[in-house]
């Protein structure tokens, strides 16, 4: 996967230098590739004019080269909201834009003509109608769930609804939303815990890492593609603003020597292994039933994941509070269930509704099959 920044280029780009206005330190008005000033409010460096036939040809040739020469799996396009020549503001930039849609469809067609199964992911954040049209054309769009999962990580109910993680909450096709808890543009959940955590979540490393594990249990079990950010699986708690937003951050492999952080890492591993070993549970025919809005905070959150034939099922019960709870959990069938996070433990489900105790800042996950 290549992160493609075809929206802008620095002053070192030869197309910028060929038509340069030294007096104003900008691209010249007769530059056939770049705008003098970006028409949108998301300008970085110098802004490509994607309605220029020269730009379209350049981008498509570049995409073709990368696919054929390096055999990459696909592209993640940066700041695609800016692929427009319409004059917009912060308030209007996300409005439906037919010219922007046409441009992105053109690039998608060029990619798929070379590699039909290539992934095309857009950092878009626009009108739902526009994103749906792009998704129906075979592209994926980002779904920013940082605020919601950070709220739960800190132990705050308000704003902690996970529902938007699942593609069924939109009008878009299955698996067209790339959901994420953290990204290069968002603050780290573990950093926010030590700054604004509720009670022990501000001071207790064990509680913090356990709460992040519960977050992961209600993230990776949701069908649809997911994006994780580096060292999130170890509870990276250094601010995105450290050494400047884009500045160098410390490399924390030593986190793996901390038992609580290693346990979080192992939780990520097991949950990702579930997705890899049982892909039929994450297809468009799989079903997800979950209760994860603010109503389900004090007495636990619940998730049931089933494959199309209901031969494989998973139940997750989460407690995001600082106190142990005993709650009534619903199981879709009786019989022997396995503790997915500890395969040596089993649970005999004698009734489809059972009382389950969940420790503070924790979760339990049961499956009808052995891990």
- What is residue 99's predicted lDDT score, i.e. its pLDDT? 94
- What is residue 174's predicted lDDT score, i.e. its pLDDT? 84
Spell out the residues 6+ positions from residue 69 whose beta carbon is closer than 8 angstroms to its own: none
Phi, psi of 211 (to 5 degrees): -65, -40
Q: What is the DSSP code string of 224-290?
A: S-EE--TTGGGT--S-TTTTSTTS-----GGGGGSHHHHHHHHHHHHHHHHHHH-GGGSSTT-EEEE
Q: How far apart are CA 273 and CA 220, in angstroms?
A: 10
Q: Tell me the per-residue pLDDT of 229-281, one tens digit each, with 9 for 90 and over.
A: 999 999 999 999 999 988 999 999 999 999 999 999 999 999 999 999 999 99
Our measurement of the distance from residue 239's CA atom to the centroid of its chain's CA atoms, rounded to an integer in Å, reads 19
Q: How far apart are CA 234 and CA 191, in angstroms?
A: 12
Please state at what angle helix 259-277 crosses helix 205-217, rounded to 10 degrees: 10
CATH architecture type of domain 2-282:
Alpha-Beta Barrel (3.20)
- What is residue 355's predicted lDDT score, i.e. its pLDDT? 96
- What is residue 43's predicted lDDT score, i.e. its pLDDT? 84
- What is residue 5's predicted lDDT score, i.e. its pLDDT? 80
> E strands of the chain, at which residues?
2-4, 8-9, 20-21, 26-27, 46-47, 74-77, 119-122, 140-144, 177-180, 226-227, 287-291, 301-306, 313-319, 325-330, 335-339, 346-349, 353-358, 362-367
- What is residue 4's predicted lDDT score, i.e. its pLDDT? 63
- What is residue 128's predicted lDDT score, i.e. its pLDDT? 87
As a whole number of Å, the end-to-end CA separation of the chain is: 30
2-282 and 291-367: identical CATH topology: no
Instruction: Name residues of the chain where pLDDT drops below 70.
Output: 1-4
What 3-state class would DSSP assign to 56?
helix
- What is residue 232's predicted lDDT score, i.e. its pLDDT? 97
- What is residue 367's predicted lDDT score, i.e. its pLDDT? 97
For residue 85, how many other CB atoms are within 10 A of its CB?
A: 18
Beta bridge partners of 364: 317
What 3-state class would DSSP assign to 108?
helix
Per the CB < 8 A criterion, the answer to whether 190 and 183 are in contact is no
- What is residue 1's predicted lDDT score, i.e. its pLDDT? 55
For residue 253, how many other CB atoms are within 10 A of its CB?
A: 9
Domain ranges of the chain: 2-282, 291-367
Average pLDDT of the chain is 94
Share of the chain above pLDDT 70, in %: 99
Query: What would the two tokens of residue 118 be?
Result: 């290539």
- What is residue 7's predicted lDDT score, i.e. its pLDDT? 87
- What is residue 136's predicted lDDT score, i.e. its pLDDT? 93
CATH architecture type of domain 291-367:
Sandwich (2.60)
* Residue with the two structure tokens 């990520």: 268
> Interior CA angle at 107 toward 77 and 127, to 5°?
60
Q: Tell me the per-residue pLDDT of 34-54, one tens digit each, with 9 for 90 and over.
A: 999 999 988 889 999 999 999
């Amino acid at each position: 996967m290549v992160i493609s920044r075809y929206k802008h280029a620095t002053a070192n780009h030869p197309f910028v230098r060929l038509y340069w206005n030294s007096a104003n330190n900008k691209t010249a008005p007769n530059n056939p590739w770049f705008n003098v000033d970006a028409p949108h409010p998301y300008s970085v460096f110098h802004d490509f004019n994607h309605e220029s036939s020269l730009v379209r040809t350049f981008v498509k040739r570049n995409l073709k080269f990368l696919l054929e020469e390096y055999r990459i799996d696909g592209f993640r396009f940066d700041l695609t909201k800016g692929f427009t020549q319409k004059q917009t503001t912060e308030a209007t930039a996300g409005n439906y834009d037919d010219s922007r849609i046409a441009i992105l469809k053109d690039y998608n067609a060029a990619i798929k003509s070379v590699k039909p199964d290539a992934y095309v992911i857009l950092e878009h954040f626009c009108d739902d109608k526009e994103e749906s049209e792009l998704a129906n054309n075979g592209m994926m769009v980002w779904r920013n769930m940082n605020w919601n999962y950070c709220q739960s990580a800190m132990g705050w109910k308000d704003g902690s609804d996970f529902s938007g993680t699942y593609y069924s909450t939109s009008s878009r096709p299955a698996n067209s939303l790339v959901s994420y808890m953290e990204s290069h543009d968002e603050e780290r959940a573990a950093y926010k815990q030590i700054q604004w955590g509720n009670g022990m979540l501000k001071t207790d490393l064990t509680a913090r890492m356990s709460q992040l594990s519960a977050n992961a249990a209600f993230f990776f079990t949701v069908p649809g593609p997911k994006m994780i950010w580096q060292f999130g699986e170890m509870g990276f708690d250094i601010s995105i603003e450290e050494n400047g937003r884009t500045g160098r951050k410390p490399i924390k492999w030593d986190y793996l020597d901390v038992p609580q952080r290693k346990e979080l890492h192992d939780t990520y591993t097991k949950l990702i292994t579930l997705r890899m070993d049982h892909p039929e549970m994450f297809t468009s025919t799989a079903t997800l039933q979950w209760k994860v809005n603010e109503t389900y905070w004090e007495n636990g959150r619940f998730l049931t994941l089933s494959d199309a034939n209901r031969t494989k099922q998973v139940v997750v019960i989460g407690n995001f509070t600082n106190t142990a709870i005993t709650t009534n959990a619903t199981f879709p069938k009786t019989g022997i269930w396995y503790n997915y996070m500890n395969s040596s433990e089993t649970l005999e489900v004698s009734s489809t509704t059972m009382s389950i105790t969940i420790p503070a800042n924790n979760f339990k996950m049961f499956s009808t099959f052995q891990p």
